[in-house]
Amino acid sequence: MDTEERLRGLLMQGLGGDAAAYQRFLKELSAHLRAFLRRRLAQRPDEVEDLVQETLLAVHNQRHTYRADSPVTAWAHAIARYKLIDWLRAHAAKEARHDPLDDDNADALFSTSDSDAAEARRDLGRLLGLLPDRQRLPIVHMKLEGLSVVETAQLTGLSESAVKVGVHRGLKALAAKLRGMG
């Protein structure tokens, strides 16, 4: 039995109330996530375990979002990617706070506003909310999260061609809505 089948079986048993199966799921998933994150944090091996634990906590808290018809590893990898991106952002912010500012990069740093970024995210969220799931989800996963067509198809349960069509039609619909607003 391969990792995907074993993890899926344990998770489904755990979601069905089998606490021992759920504990085995978390233990096996932690080993899988450790290898996944170790490859991405080769330069920072000391950070891997913290990220594994954060990801396991997020998996536990988001277990209700797992769709039984999609691969467990794709779902868990997406959560791990979010945690890794959060860590990278926080780490970059810490390093930036320790870098001395000179006049040249101070202007560039303060020329953008956090409120502008927050407004842009909110506006984008509203626009994407106008789209049906078959268009919105592929755009979110591929264009915003950086997942591949294959990963998006696995995560959403859509075929790869449906994912591509969803992105194309969704972007076209968004462009039309923006033209109508302008």
Torsion, Cα 84 51 149 143, to 10 degrees, reads -20
DSSP per residue over 108-133, as a string?
A: HHHTS-HHHHHHHHHHHHHHHHTS-H
Residues 36 and 78: their CA atoms lie apart, in Å, by: 11
Answer yes or no: are the C-beta atoms of 76 and 28 closer than 8 Å: no
CA count, 13 A, side-chain hemisphere, 116: 4
Please report the pLDDT score of residue 114 as a whole number: 54
Give the residue from 114, 110, 171 showing the smallest Cα distance to 139.
Answer: 171
Q: Structural domain boundaries of the chain?
A: 1-99, 112-182
pLDDT for res 111 = 45
Residue 49 pLDDT exceeds 60: yes
Architecture per CATH, domain 112-182, reads as Orthogonal Bundle (1.10)
Confidence of residue 60 (pLDDT cuts 50, 70, 90): very high
**Domain boundaries 1-99, CATH class:** mainly alpha
Average predicted confidence (pLDDT) for the chain: 83
20 falls in which pLDDT band (50, 70, 90)?
very high
Question: What pTM, to 2 d.p., does this model score?
Answer: 0.52
Q: How far apart (Å, rounded) are the C-alpha atoms in residues 180 and 89?
A: 35
Residue 11: the pLDDT is 95
pLDDT tens readout for residues 75-126: 999 999 999 988 888 877 666 555 555 555 545 444 444 556 667 777 777 8
Residue 59: in which H helix or E strand, if any?
helix 48-61
